[in-house]
């Protein structure tokens, strides 16, 4: 009998593990965000004056640095993010890249101006493991624009090795003038 022919044996896998995630209603933050510049909103989240969005809580994303057209986020992946081949799923790295690309653009936006991702290209360079090592993702705007902006991301591990790079474009949406 092969391993695939056996029924699930709970003793083989040990005790189930759990992860509890708590978050606040995201809509008051989004409403407040329409009255603040992008940089002011990110600073308020970083400084815990307003709650972080649920995705940040779910994946453990933290804002470390905010500059003009530049942000740095960190996270420490845990094993709840593992894929079936024993490493952190690339979706976490992709989410980090998308986040820092979008937020780097957000630092340049005025109140009432939002954004959404148009495209994202991620190059995975080495595996990520849940070994307590912090990932550090830097987003940098390469070309700001009135309707479309472009930015790059670099994600490094605790040893400073690049685990992924990304580039993306972001659609700028001005609620004050767009209908």
| Helix, strand, coil abundance in the chain, percent, nearest 5 | 30, 30, 40
Question: What pTM was estimated for this model as a whole?
Answer: 0.92
Strands (E), 7-134: 62-67, 70-75, 113-124
Angstrom distance (rounded) from CA 98 to CA 155? 11
Residue by residue, pLDDT tens for the chain (179 residues) are 566 666 777 888 889 999 999 999 999 999 998 999 999 999 999 999 999 999 999 999 999 999 999 999 999 999 999 999 999 999 999 999 999 999 999 999 999 999 999 999 999 999 999 999 999 999 999 999 999 999 999 999 999 999 999 999 999 998 766 65
């Amino acid at each position: 009998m092969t391993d695939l022919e056996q029924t699930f044996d709970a003793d083989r896998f040990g005790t189930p593990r759990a992860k509890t995630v708590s978050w606040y209603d995201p809509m008051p933050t989004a409403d407040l965000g329409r009255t603040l510049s992008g940089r002011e909103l990110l600073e308020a989240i970083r400084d815990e004056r307003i709650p972080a969005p649920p995705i940040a809580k779910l994946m453990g994303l933290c804002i470390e640095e905010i500059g003009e057209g530049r942000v740095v986020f960190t996270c420490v992946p845990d094993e709840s993010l593992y894929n079936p081949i024993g490493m952190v799923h690339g979706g976490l790295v992709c989410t980090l890249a998308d986040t820092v690309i979008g937020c780097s653009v957000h630092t340049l936006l005025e109140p009432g101006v939002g954004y959404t991702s148009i495209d994202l290209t991620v190059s995975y360079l080495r595996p990520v493991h849940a070994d307590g090592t912090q990932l550090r993702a830097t987003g940098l705007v390469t070309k700001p624009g009135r309707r479309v902006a472009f930015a790059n991301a670099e994600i490094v591990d605790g040893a400073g090795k690049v685990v992924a790079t990304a580039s993306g474009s972001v659609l700028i949406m001005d609620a004050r003038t767009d209908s």
